[in-house]
């Protein structure tokens, strides 16, 4: 069956990551990520950590969701600003990230405890296979922006990550440089 979609074009600002016109904009603030960071007690609850611009597309297996994410620079305690991270609710659905601006990392993890760390930078193309949870982290002094395209009905499973976390955390080391550190509490 051919889906009932009309062709369309949208503009993405490659420097800021913003998508114009009818994108659905969602902000994630410190308060929305309570429990994800080791210690957020010193951070103002209203501070925006990241913003997602999503082009409205039906959540169907035949479609492709398109969005940008812009993570503000900064840290909460020793941890760099990061997204919540999620598995896709339909575990086998994959995704592609294209870096637009800034410098950061994409942390990937499987449910049996494997993990990978990939760079995000302008022009980086990262493939997120089905079954890999994914979280992005801003390491720089500027906003980190990337474009994502993923299978329309992928959905988001946040609960598994909220409960178990990722096998590694990205913190600032004593020398001021980023450090990818094992998260001892993580299940194997």
The neighbour count for residue 20, using CB atoms within 10 Å, is 10
Strand partners, 168: 182
Q: Say which entry of ligand S6P, Zn ion, none residue 67 contacts (CB below 5 to 8 A, set by partner kind).
A: ligand S6P
Per-residue mark of binding to ligand S6P, 46-65 (x: CB under 6 A): ------x-------------
The reply to whether 34 sits near ligand S6P by the rule CB under 6 A is no
The token pair at 38 is 């080791």
17, 37, 81, 83: which one binds ligand S6P (CB under 6 A):
83
Can residue 126 be called a binding residue for ligand S6P (CB under 6 A)? no
* Interface pick for ligand S6P out of 75, 84, 115, 183 (rule CB under 6 A): 84
Separation of alpha carbons 81 and 51, rounded Å? 12
Nearer to Zn ion, 27 or 142 (CB): 27
If binding is defined by CB under 6 A, does position 115 make contact with ligand S6P? no
Instruction: Give least dist CB 113 to ligand S6P, A.
Output: 19
Task: Confirm if 5 and 58 have CB atoms less than 8 A apart.
Answer: yes
Q: How far is CA 79 from CA 14, 52, 134, in A?
A: 26, 20, 17
Query: Which residues pair with residue 125 across a beta bridge?
Result: 98
Spatial CA neighbour of 100 closest among 120, 128, 126, 74: 120
Least distance (Å) from Zn ion to the CB of residue 28? 14
Tokens of 140: 């720089």
- Among 13-21, 41-49, 77-85, 111-119, the segment contacting ligand S6P (CB under 6 A): 77-85
Q: Counting contacts by CB under 6 A, is residue 105 touching ligand S6P? A: no
Cα 133 from Cα 136, distance rounded (Å): 10
Closest separation in Å from C-beta 148 to ligand S6P: 4
Which CB atom, from 95 or from 118, has the smaller least distance to Zn ion?
A: 95
- Alpha-carbon distance 153 to 94, whole Å? 11
33 neighbors 83 (Cβ within 8 angstroms): no
Binding-site ranges for Zn ion (CB under 5 A): 95
Summarize as ranges the residues that interact with ligand S6P (CB under 6 A): 28, 52, 67, 69, 83-86, 95, 134, 136, 148, 150, 154, 156
């Amino acid at each position: 069956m051919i889906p009932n979609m009309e062709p369309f074009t949208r503009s993405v600002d490659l420097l800021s990551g913003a998508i114009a016109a009818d994108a659905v904009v969602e902000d994630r603030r410190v308060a929305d990520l309570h429990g994800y960071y080791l210690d957020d007690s010193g951070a103002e609850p209203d501070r925006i950590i990241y913003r997602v611009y999503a082009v409205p597309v039906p959540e169907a297996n035949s479609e492709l969701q398109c969005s940008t994410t812009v993570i503000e620079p900064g840290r909460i305690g020793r941890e760099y600003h990061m997204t919540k991270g999620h598995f896709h609710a339909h575990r086998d659905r994959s995704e592609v990230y294209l870096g637009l601006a800034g410098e950061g990392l994409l942390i990937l993890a499987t449910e049996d405890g494997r993990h990978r760390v990939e760079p995000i930078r302008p022009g980086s193309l990262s493939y997120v296979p089905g079954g890999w949870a994914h979280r992005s982290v801003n390491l720089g002094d500027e906003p980190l922006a990337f474009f994502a395209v993923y299978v329309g009905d992928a959905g988001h499973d946040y609960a598994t990550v909220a409960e178990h976390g990722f096998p590694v955390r990205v913190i600032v080391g004593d020398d001021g440089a980023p450090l990818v550190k094992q998260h001892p509490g993580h299940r194997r």
